Amino acid sequence: MDQIGFIGLGNMGRPMASNLCRKGFRLAVHDLNRAPVAELEKLGATSAASPRDVASRSDVVFTMLPDSTVVEEVVLGPDGILAHARKGATIVDMSTIDPTVTDRLAAAAAAKGIGFVDAPVGRLASHAERGESLFMVGGSDEAFARVKPMLEAMGTTIHHCGGAGTGMRTKLVNNFLAIVSCQMNAEAIALSQRFGLSLAKTLDVIHGTTATNGQLKLAWATKVLKGDTAPGFTIDLAHKDLTLIVNAANAAKVPVPIAAIAREAFSSARAQGHGGKDFSAVVDVLCENAGITKARL
C-alpha cells in the first residue's frame, strides 16, 4: 500500500485526512497548526516536520492549502515537495487556485517524472466530515487510477474531467454558478421582504418554477433562512473564488460581467466585516444595508 502524505489540515483537509486514516491508509501529516496534527496522530497518522519531510516519506502527497501562493511554495519551493519527492511519486492538489498555477505545477512535476493530479473539492466541510466530498479530477488515466482509491475513501462522487488542469477549471465553472446564485438569491429575497410578501409562499412559488436553484432550495433552507450564518463556505472564500474566476476568464478572453459584479458585492460584504460568515449571509448584509427585515422561515 502507498504511504500517503497530507499537507494542510484546515476545515476541509483535517476531516479528509481523518477519513483516510479510518479507512486504513498510512499517513504522514503536516500543518502549521499543531492542533489538527495531534488529532490525526490519535487516529494513527505520524507527524511530519515540513513539506520536505512529508515528501521524503510518501508515495502520494495530498495538498489542501488556502491559495495559489502557498501551493506554489509548498510544491515548487526549495524545501517543497518536488525537490524532495520519491521516485515515481504522485502529487494531488485539492486546493482551489489559479489554473495557470496548476498548469505550472503539472509541467514541473512531469519534467521530474512525478505524477500530478488536480482534484479540487465540491461540497462543504460537513460533507468532508462524513466522507461525502465530491472531487473534480484532472490528470492522466494512470495518475487518476492510482489515487482513485484514496479519493473514494474521502468522498462519494468522483469526476475525472480530463488531463491536468481540467479539474481546477471545472471547479471554477461550478463555483461561478454557485456563488453568483447566492448573490441573485439575496437580491430577489430582499426584494420579496421589501414587498411585504410571505417568504414561505414566495419560496413555494419559486421552487415550482425554473427560477429555483440548488443554493436557494437546499443550502439556504438550512442556513441563513434559519438564522444560521456559521461558515460552511465563507464570504471571504467566495470572494477569493470569484477573483480566480474573473482572472481566469480574462486570461481566456471570455467576458464575465455578472461574475465581476458579484465579486464587488462580496467585496462590500467583506469591507463591512462579514467575511467570516457563511456566503449565504450576503442576503443579511443586503437587508441590513437597505433597512429591510432579515428573511427568516
Decide if 217 is catalytic: no
Instruction: Compute the distance between CA of residue 224 and CA of residue 283 in angstroms, rounded to an integer.
Output: 8
Q: Please name the amino acid found at residue 284.
A: D
C-alpha cell at 48: 511530519
Residue of 171, 223, 240, 277 marked catalytic: 171
C-alpha to C-alpha distance for 123 and 159, rounded to whole angstroms: 13
Grid coordinates in use for 94?
Answer: 485539492
C-alpha gyration radius of the chain: 20
**Residues labelled as active-site residues:** 171
